[in-house]
Structure 1
Amino acid sequence: MNTYECLQDEACEDGIEVVDYTFESDRIKGLYCDGVVAIREDMTIPEKACALAEEMGHHGTSYGNIIDMDSVQNRKQERQARLHGYNRLIGLAGLVEAYEHGCQNRYEIAEFLEVTDEFLEDCISCYRDKYGECKTVDNYTIYFIPNLMIFKKI
């Protein structure tokens, strides 16, 4: 089962209905409203997984209509939903797992974690803002600045 299918199962368990949808705008990848997530039907499996993870984040963290990004409160809710998606699909543990699997660069990490390159880049940027230069997890140090690097402590 791929990541997208696993997320669909999790969504179902959480009472979220997931439907494929044809959006008129190419900018919309997914949309959450009242327990239903609409996912753009013409995307790749990793693109769908990334969109679904974020929309599932809206289920748990957002309230009301947050489409207007001029509102600070709405931007905060959007950021929380994205962080939820990053943590669900990647997380610090996922970066370590990719390192242990032998992934040598961001493209290999994205492929291993079944996410898009853009989603991984956005995640790393978010983690850089949240943790700063680096973050230590167990016996690993993950550097976000200047580039993503992971070191295992001996």
Structure 2
Amino acid sequence: MIYEQLTVEASLNNIEIYEKYMPSRLKGLYGNNIIWINKHMLTRTEKACVLAEELGHHHTSVGDILDQSNIENRKQELRARRWAFERLIPFSKIVQAHRLHISNRYELADFLGVTEDFLQAALDWYKSKYGLCVVIEQYTIYFEPLGVLEMFDWIEKPSFEAV
């Protein structure tokens, strides 16, 4: 379902998507409003993660960045990945998963529609950006170990006196 949503998003941005066989080391490519997704990938979930990153290139990258020995190109690659992390794994979805009692990484990745590797990379990035945790409204999201703590308000109630 995520893959289909991303294809609609691409279409709204006038981006064409083609699935074709490419060398196995290439999962996807973006250039001139065209995204190529490697047909060798087995699952739609993996394709969704790659498509999100390629959409990230559309929104964050400029020029030919295929030469990853160039530090500027590597920075653009990371910006595209970060865009994909924030697009597919927003904090609101992690909180929603907590409220649905999702209790492990496999279930969380499935709920989010991402691979476990993509989820782990996103959590590692969030941890490097925010530290061990981040507070969102009444929730504290911990990145290591992964968990959500929900705070609640104490409402003062009248005290009951013994009669």
| Root mean square deviation of aligned Cα | 0.9
Aligned to 1:107: 106
In structure 2, what is the equivalent of residue 51 of structure 1?
50
- Find the aligned partners of 2:47 and 2:92 in 1 and give their Cα distance: 22
Report the Cα distance in structure 2 between the residues aligned to 1:91 and 1:17, rounded to whole angstroms.
25
Gaps of 5+ in 1: none
Q: Spell out, residue by residue over 1:72-126, the C-alpha distance to the aligned partner (whole angstroms, 9 max, x if none).
A: 2111111110011011111111111111121101111000011000000000001
Superposed CA offset, 1:46-75 (max 9, x none)? 001000000000001001111122222111
Structure 2, unmatched stretches of 5+, are 153-163
1:40 aligns with 2:38: yes
> CA separation in 2, counterparts of 1:87 and 1:117?
15
Aligned to 1:4: 3
How many positions carry a matched residue from both structures?
151
Aligned to 1:149: 147
User: Aligned partners of 1:99 and 1:21: how far apart in 2?
Assistant: 37
**What SS is found at the alignment partner of 1:149?**
strand
Which has the higher Rg, Structure 1 or Structure 2? 2
Paired AA for residue 12 in structure 2: E
TM-score w.r.t. length of structure 2: 0.90
